[in-house]
Amino acid sequence: MDYYPLFLNLKGQACLVVGGGEIAFRKSQSLLKAGAHVTLVAPDITPELRQLISDEKITYISKCFIPEYLAAKRLVIAATNDSTLNRLISAKADEENILVNVPDDLKSCRFIVPAIIDRSPLIIAVSSGGTAPLLARLLRQKLETMIPASYGDLAKFAAHFRDQVKNKLSILTARRRFWEGIFEGPIANRVLNGQITFAENEFRQALALHVKDEGTKTGEVFIIGAGPGDPELLTLKALRLMQQSDIVFYDNLASPDVLNLVRRDAIRVSVAKKKNKHKMAQTEINSAMIEHAKAGKRVCRLKGGDPFIFGRGGEEVEALIDAEVSFQIVPGITAASGCTTYAGIPLTHRDHADTVTFVTGHKKDNGKLDIDFEHLAKDRQTIVFYMGLGNLPEISDRLQFHGLASDTPAAAIEQGTYAHQRVLCSTLKNLTSDTEGFDFQSPTLIVIGKVVSLADKLHWFGSPPIKGKCNLASDHLQDKTSLEFIPRFNTA
């Protein structure tokens, strides 16, 4: 973040605007709106500014700028048509610790002015940090159409009841829950429709009811599939529940961009392995979720992909049921679906694959890959290995041993659905050495089957697929020895 966003209270504060043109007029007007005392310095001014002066709204000094005019000012805007003078004003103001802005000269600004949507007392500010003001303005236009003008009335309505609610509901989470119910429910609609008296009566009833219920209320756990990485792949339900959560337990597959969408003031707990710290065991995660839910919190368990696909979601839900904690489960786009789609690999295709199988490539505690390879090694299907990168040599060898052709197209997708995703297209035989050669790291998804050959044509996202060695089927046909298969594992 390059700038610290803040809203400044300028009521009764002395501010200086230097310049006599249209920009100086606009800036003076917005400062006046915020209740500031504006002094304008400029030898010549526009008729609009003259009007402001004759209405006695601003103080006018009909001279050129001198540093003495900065005395006792909180904020200054240098808006003359002389960029050298603007820079000089900026430097002097900065020396005096006065906040300074020079329109269209980012380097000379101590603060920048956002595009705003004014629904006072509700104000929404949008800024591109000075990089693309037009983009910020476009965004503002979009938001303008989404936020009814009467939202200001809703904010005033809430302000009226704020202290009452605070007195009756002393616990922050209880208050938050109450207000969320109000803002998302029929009472807010009443206010937006101008039915204030109805709204006030219903509000009082709702508050009394909430106070009565609060003591008996327990929390809830949301087991949420966060998808493979791209935050736009979240479901609407996932987003809604993430926005309601008080605490979130996330693992390392939940992308930072997704995590950013959890409610800002929610507590964030990583359950992933970290430097000098062991990762939270499944039983510890279960106990922590239960403990917080029983304390009345809304707990978000944010999991990569889909919670029920190699995600231990089932185990977590069992623990919640045993502990009599209520829960909701939100499916997510699993890696097999998200990563292959973003790699241009259709999981099924009429010409290539009628079946798709999701397999874990993770070894059990006894160190064995407990997979029915004989059953898997069939044509006209797509096999997707999760957690398969580390055991790729064995996966590849055993599939070939059971008869799957060495030149079956195979791909590795690293960090799928992220802008920096890498897709490597190779063959069953060569995928291991190719992933090693290109230093593929976790998370990587392995896809085996003829559909992989479509990636070249259907590629649409990120960089084009990387070609592994002997990627082309013709290479194999010329090099018969490459079809010979020598198992590296013990077949006895």
Binding mask 81-120 for ligand SAH (x = CB under 6 A): ----------------------------------------
Indicate whether 339 belongs to the interface with ligand SAH (CB under 6 A).
yes
Q: Which is nearer to ligand SAH, 246 or 251 (CB)?
A: 251
Tokens of 217: 């209320």
**Which positions from 242 through 261 interact with ligand SAH, judged by CB under 6 A?**
253
Indicate whether 305 belongs to the interface with ligand SAH (CB under 6 A).
yes
Number of Cα atoms under 13 Å in the Cβ half of residue 386: 18
Q: Which is nearer to ligand SAH, 333 or 404 (CB)?
A: 333
Q: How far is the CB of 311 from ligand SAH (least distance, A)?
A: 3
Given the rule CB under 6 A, which of 199-207, 241-249, 307-315, 402-410 is the region that contacts ligand SAH?
307-315
Quote the CA–CA distance of 211 and 232 in Å, as a whole number: 38
Cβ-contact 114, 144 below 8 angstroms: no
Active site annotation includes 251: yes
DSSP bridge pairs for 39: 16, 59
Selected from 19, 103, 219, 229, the binder of ligand SAH by CB under 6 A is 229
Q: Which is nearer to ligand SAH, 17 or 445 (CB)?
A: 445
Indicate whether 340 belongs to the interface with ligand SAH (CB under 6 A).
no
Tokens of 430: 């060569």
Sorted by sequence, the CB contacts under 8 Å of residue 245 that are 6+ apart come out as 222, 262, 263, 266, 298, 299, 300
Binding mask 392-421 for ligand SAH (x = CB under 6 A): ---------------------x-xxx----
Selected from 221, 356, 387, 424, the binder of ligand SAH by CB under 6 A is 387
Q: Which among 251, 306, 407, 434 is annotated as catalytic?
A: 251
Residue with tokens 């590296």: 488
Selected from 103, 133, 228, 331, the binder of ligand SAH by CB under 6 A is 228
Indicate whether 343 belongs to the interface with ligand SAH (CB under 6 A).
no
Shortest-Cβ-distance residue relative to ligand SAH: 305
Q: Which among 142, 166, 273, 274 is annotated as catalytic?
A: 273
**Which positions from 433 through 452 interact with ligand SAH, judged by CB under 6 A?**
442-445
Active site annotation includes 457: no
Q: How far is the CB of 226 from ligand SAH (least distance, A)?
A: 9
Selected from 220, 306, 397, 407, the binder of ligand SAH by CB under 6 A is 306
Q: How far is the CB of 232 from ligand SAH (least distance, A)?
A: 14
**Per residue in 295-308, is it b (16+ CB within 10 Å) or e — as a string?**
ebbbbbbbbbbbbb
Selected from 335, 343, 405, 455, the binder of ligand SAH by CB under 6 A is 335
Given the rule CB under 6 A, which of 31-39, 103-111, 159-167, 331-339 is the region that contacts ligand SAH?
331-339
Active site residues: 251, 273
Binding site for ligand SAH (CB under 6 A): 228-229, 253, 303-306, 309-311, 334-335, 339, 386-387, 413, 415-417, 442-445
